[in-house]
């Protein structure tokens, strides 16, 4: 979505947040920002206007933007330089160090992804709980949103799917020229349920930190397992995510022999 499209969608969302029956008007946004209605109309029409940090702050307030939406706004205005996404083709000493951190975890499942949610590494418990990570080309978004197994294992799947799609929308808004993300979205939207959820609104989420999942993993435990995700964002490895799934209740995974991390 272009900036002008995002602004229109965010006016609709602001109306919902303010518990109104319709979007807030261009005139109201302009008044809240302290600018002329003509100026704001030009901005929303896609005309070239000067946008200082002060103006962006007032625009964010007027549109009732959350922190993730603000990140998208600043990123689009700065031509993508505000939020850096990972290059899918890199292998550095720092990345190998991250792989060692992930694979050495023994008390809970852990994995590493790049900016496109491709699985870069995982520890034995992750492979035991979720064997799909061992498959070539494993991608978290693809599995979580399209695979029928995910819909059975992730309880309250639709609620989580909405959040995953919001994260994907954020990544696409911050990096609109990322061909791999565009291809991933194309695959996901072939699923009717995912397309319906995608079309519900413009919500964006940058990162999913501290969220709780209820999982049904009969091969691990006869009872449902509750985990909390902890997402670590390494400095200088933009887009890379180290994710730890911390169980709230004890689980007894069985040993396995996962494919080695390369």
120: pLDDT confidence band, cut at 50, 70 and 90? confident
Q: Say how far apart CA 118 and CA 141 lie, in whole Å.
A: 8
Alpha-carbon torsion angle 144, 146, 151, 156, nearest 10 = 60
Average pLDDT (165-176) is 86
Of the candidate ranges 22-31, 67-76, 144-153, 246-255, the one whose mean pLDDT is the lowest: 246-255
pLDDT at site 185: 94
Name the residue with higher pLDDT: 186 or 83: 186
Name the residue with higher pLDDT: 94 or 230: 230
Taking the complete model, does pTM exceed 0.85, yes or no? no
In order, the DSSP letters of 137-159 are T-BHHHHHHH-HHHHHHBTTHHH
Residue 178: C-alpha distances to residues 7, 32, 85, 86 (Å): 21, 34, 9, 10
* pLDDT at residue 236 tops 80: no
Per the prediction, the chain carries an average pLDDT of 83
Average pLDDT (214-234) is 93
pLDDT at site 233: 83
Q: Say how far apart CA 185 and CA 178 lie, in whole Å.
A: 11
Q: Say how far apart CA 65 and CA 13 lie, in whole Å.
A: 9
Domains and CATH numbers, the chain: 3-65 (1.10.260.40), 93-247 (3.30.450.180)
| Residues 85/174, Cβ–Cβ less than 8 Å | yes
Average pLDDT (72-96) is 51
Helix (H) or strand (E) holding 19: none
| Residues 249/226, Cβ–Cβ less than 8 Å | yes
Tens-digit pLDDT profile for residues 5-60: 889 989 999 999 899 889 999 999 999 999 999 999 999 988 877 777 778 888 98
Helix axes 26-33 and 53-62, enclosed angle (nearest 10): 130
pLDDT at site 137: 87
Cα R_g (the chain), whole angstroms: 20
* pLDDT at residue 107 tops 60: yes
Share of the chain above pLDDT 90, in %: 44
Q: Residue 7's CB: how many other CB atoms inside 10 A?
A: 21
């Amino acid at each position: 979505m272009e900036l002008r499209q995002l602004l229109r969608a965010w006016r609709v969302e602001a109306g919902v947040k303010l518990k109104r029956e319709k979007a807030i008007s261009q005139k109201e946004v302009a008044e809240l920002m302290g600018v002329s209605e003509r100026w704001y109309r030009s901005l929303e029409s896609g005309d070239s206007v000067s946008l200082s940090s002060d103006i962006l702050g007032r625009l964010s307030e007027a549109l009732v933007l959350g922190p993730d939406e603000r990140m998208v706004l600043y990123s689009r205005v700065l031509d993508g330089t505000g939020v850096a996404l990972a290059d899918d083709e890199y292998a550095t000493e720092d990345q190998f160090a991250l792989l060692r951190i992930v694979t050495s975890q023994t008390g809970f499942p852990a994995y590493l992804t790049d900016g496109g949610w491709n699985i870069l590494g995982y520890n034995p418990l992750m492979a035991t709980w979720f064997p799909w990570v061992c498959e070539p080309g494993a991608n978290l978004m693809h599995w979580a949103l399209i695979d029928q197994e995910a819909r059975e294992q992730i309880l309250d799947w639709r609620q989580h799917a909405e959040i995953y799609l919001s994260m994907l929308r954020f990544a696409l808004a911050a990096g609109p020229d990322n061909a791999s993300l565009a291809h991933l979205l194309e695959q996901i939207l072939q699923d009717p349920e995912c397309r319906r959820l995608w079309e519900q609104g413009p919500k964006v989420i940058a990162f999913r930190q501290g969220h709780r999942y209820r999982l049904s993993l009969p091969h691990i435990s006869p009872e449902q397992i509750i985990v909390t995700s902890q997402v670590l964002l390494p400095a200088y490895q933009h887009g890379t995510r180290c994710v730890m799934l911390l169980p709230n209740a004890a689980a007894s995974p069985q040993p396995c022999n996962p494919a080695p991390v390369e």
